[in-house]
Amino acid sequence: MPLKTEVAVDAAAQGNRQWISTSKLATKVYKAGRAYIFNNRRAFVISAHVIQAALANYLAFVLRFNFILRLEYLRQMLSYFPILLAIRLASYLSFGLYKDVWRYSSVDDLMKIVKASAIGSLIFFGAVRYFYGDKGYPLSIYFIDYMLLVMISGGGRLFIRVFNEYAQRENSGKRVLIFGAGDAGEMIVRDMKNNPEYAYEPIGFIDDDPYKKGLSIHGVPILGPRSALEKIARKHGPEELLVCMQSADGTVLNDIYERCNPLNIPIKTLPPIADVINGRVTASQIKPLSLEALLQRAPVRADIKPVRNYIAGKTVLVTGAGGSIGSELSRQILEYGPSNLIIFDRYENSLFKTDMNLRELMKKNMGINTGWAGRITTVIGDLLDHAALDLLFSSHRPQIVFHAAAHKHVPLMEHNPMEAVKNNIFGTKNILDFSNAYKIEKFVMISTDKAVNPTSIMGATKRVAEMLTINMDRSSSSHFSVVRFGNVLGSNGSVVPIFKEQLKRGGPLTVTHPEIKRYFMLIPEAVSLVLLAAASGSGGNIYVLDMGEQVHISRLAENMIRLSGFVPYKDIGIEFTGLRPGEKLFEELFDESEQLMPTSHKKLRIAAPAGISSPEELSRHLAALEKIVVSGSKDMLIDELRTVVPTFRRAGICDAANT
């Protein structure tokens, strides 16, 4: 069925465009004539106004005397012709009608014609009746002349506009089917018709409102609902599908996308009207449908009162602020009005970028929201540097700490296990110790689903970091908790940016295994839930975000190829390269030993930790790990991690890859 549909769509597209090729000569003639007129525009417009005024006056006499114009009336008409034309021209010039571009004539232009003609007729009446004292000039001529002039002048402009719209439709225009016969759809069709240089030809609307079927907008018919898409596409042969449903969420977009898949027609979309200057969308803003749009779920509220009460007026520290999660955490925290936001990272370039973005955001919002009265403090430092951390805490006295700094790339950490242990375990221990020593209010560690039943060194080190955080809560007067979630879309080094780069090079897209699956969530949504978890309850909990369903990476690759306007395995290939060191086929959010508990928010759950080593036992393991890191023995390091994390089951492929 998809093959038949593709053939039918292609045939319809070719058949519907045959008439355009026959109009090439007319288009060339039109363009040449328009160029000549534009080069001599002012003279042409003034001449046209004079001719229109003369024609209207002549036809007024002809109509008044039933198409029999006797010599005496002809002489009367001609005797006042120069006066009439001079008055008409002066009134038109005073209203600036010679400046208008006729191809864009509107109701405002028509009103100017009505006013200029009315004033000209009144002046002409006064001149003939009272200045020259000619009471024999027929009174009805004044009115008929006025009405005819409005019709001829306004009608001429309308003709130019209509002719221009149709004459410029060349065979390069893409036939576009538009989803959504609302405000955005109306604006985009109007813009396409007024600006043929965009090379789009709207052929119809798709809209689920049954009352709109059979109607039209700007001459473009509303063809039916989403359910009839395949039938409509077969009949009309669109080359692109443009989504103009501003209220469409991820569910609606996914449904549209699935219906379009068999047709192999590119899907484009528009930005939300709220993101567009003056709320006006145009054809120049059309862009491919993004993967982010397909994964978009119901948003978390932008301003959550418990989070504002938790952050406003506080000094907040974010470690790893140069990373994907850390930078978005910093941005959202800033919107809740902290007295001081400290952004901390050891990488200068990424931290500089975050700093610049935050200051631009603060500058933009200062004066609009009184909560933006705090300051931003940027600190470059290393979590392994005790002196730097001591100076940071003693100088700024943070009250809330969000710990997002970590090494996270699984294959890299398989080959650099010492760095994974130093940064993810000892770096976390250091920030925990200083947070406890300086009696902060609350500490939130960002963890990963790879810490659950880990098969990689990175996952095992993050599991140890979770244990350290929960143990610290048990022995401290401050509150320490963990927020665990899976992959976020578009983070540094994630699969989506890699696929985009491979698409730019023409493919193929590389996937490690046909069955590999991952959780995905948009970064802003994940961070909103992290803040909500931080503001909820006391410490000692592992909060787990609702990540939805896992996605096959191979299907993700196919979707990205289709969204780029190509056909998977035909235009762009997909290669399977084999699992990388430490990589799982699928991820888990909960350990079998953890007890699941609900929270007040449906997108947040608690994994009540169990089987965590005691502080004393964990300290012994940390001392052993510290000695191993100094000695540099990789095998001993892995054995010790297996002892600390009993669920650590390093895959055989990983061992083979690292021997």
Number of independent structural domains in the chain: 3
- 232 and 351 fall within a common domain: no
The domain boundary residue, chosen from 255, 289, 323: 289
- 430 and 527 fall within a common domain: yes
pTM (two decimals): 0.66
pLDDT > 70? residue 409: yes
pLDDT number for residue 248: 65
- 339 and 361 fall within a common domain: yes
pLDDT number for residue 583: 78
Average pLDDT over every residue of 422-434: 96
A 10 A CB-CB count for 54 gives 16
Q: How confident is the model at residue 13 (pLDDT cuts 50, 70, 90)?
A: very low
Catalytic option among 112, 422, 450, 584: 450
- 455 and 534 fall within a common domain: yes
Average pLDDT over every residue of 58-65: 87
Q: Is residue 228 part of a domain?
A: yes
pLDDT > 60? residue 466: yes
Q: How confident is the model at residue 289 (pLDDT cuts 50, 70, 90)?
A: low
- 356 and 401 fall within a common domain: yes
Q: Does residue 193 have an active-site annotation?
A: no
| pLDDT mean across residues, the chain | 81
Q: Is residue 556 part of a domain?
A: no
Q: Which residues of 294-306 are buried (b: 16+ CB within 10 A; e: fewer)?
A: bbbeeebeeebee
Pairing of strands 551-552, 517-518: antiparallel
| CATH number of domain containing 532 | 3.40.50.720
**Residue among 581, 593, 521, 512 nearest 553 (CA):** 512
A 10 A CB-CB count for 133 gives 8
Distance CA 11, CA 238 (A): 11
User: 308-336 pLDDT, tens per residue?
Assistant: 889 999 999 999 999 999 999 999 999 89
- 595 and 449 fall within a common domain: yes
137 burial type by CB count under 10 A (0-12 exposed, 13-18 middle, 19+ buried): middle
Q: Is residue 537 part of a domain?
A: yes
- 127 and 183 fall within a common domain: no
User: 290-312 pLDDT, tens per residue?
Assistant: 666 666 655 555 457 888 889 99
- 344 and 428 fall within a common domain: yes
- 218 and 351 fall within a common domain: no
- 348 and 456 fall within a common domain: yes
Q: Is residue 495 part of a domain?
A: no
pLDDT > 90? residue 196: no
pLDDT > 70? residue 423: yes
Structure-model confidence comparison of residues 275 and 373, the more confident one: 373
When mean pLDDT is compared across 236-245, 436-445, 616-625, the lowest value belongs to 236-245
Please report which residue ranges of 476-595 form alpha helices under DSSP H: 495-504, 523-535, 553-563
The domain boundary residue, chosen from 167, 193, 222: 167
pLDDT > 70? residue 276: no
Our measurement of the distance from residue 135's CA atom to the centroid of its chain's CA atoms, rounded to an integer in Å, reads 70
pLDDT number for residue 658: 35
pLDDT > 90? residue 604: no
Q: Is the dihedral of CA 531, 532, 535, 538 positive or negative?
A: negative
Q: Is residue 511 part of a domain?
A: no
The domain boundary residue, chosen from 144, 167, 190: 167
- 278 and 198 fall within a common domain: yes
When mean pLDDT is compared across 165-169, 347-351, 485-489, 642-646, the lowest value belongs to 165-169
- 42 and 127 fall within a common domain: yes
pLDDT > 80? residue 484: yes
Q: Domain residues for 187?
A: 173-289
Average pLDDT over every residue of 341-345: 96
Distance CA 221, CA 206 (A): 9
Q: Is residue 372 part of a domain?
A: yes
pLDDT number for residue 19: 41
Q: Is residue 637 part of a domain?
A: yes
Average pLDDT over every residue of 1-21: 47
Structure-model confidence comparison of residues 653 and 152, the more confident one: 152
Our measurement of the distance from residue 458's CA atom to the centroid of its chain's CA atoms, rounded to an integer in Å, reads 33
Q: Is residue 61 part of a domain?
A: yes
pLDDT number for residue 653: 40
Structure-model confidence comparison of residues 388 and 46, the more confident one: 388
What percentage of residues in the chain have a pLDDT greater than 70?
A: 81
Q: How confident is the model at residue 39 (pLDDT cuts 50, 70, 90)?
A: low
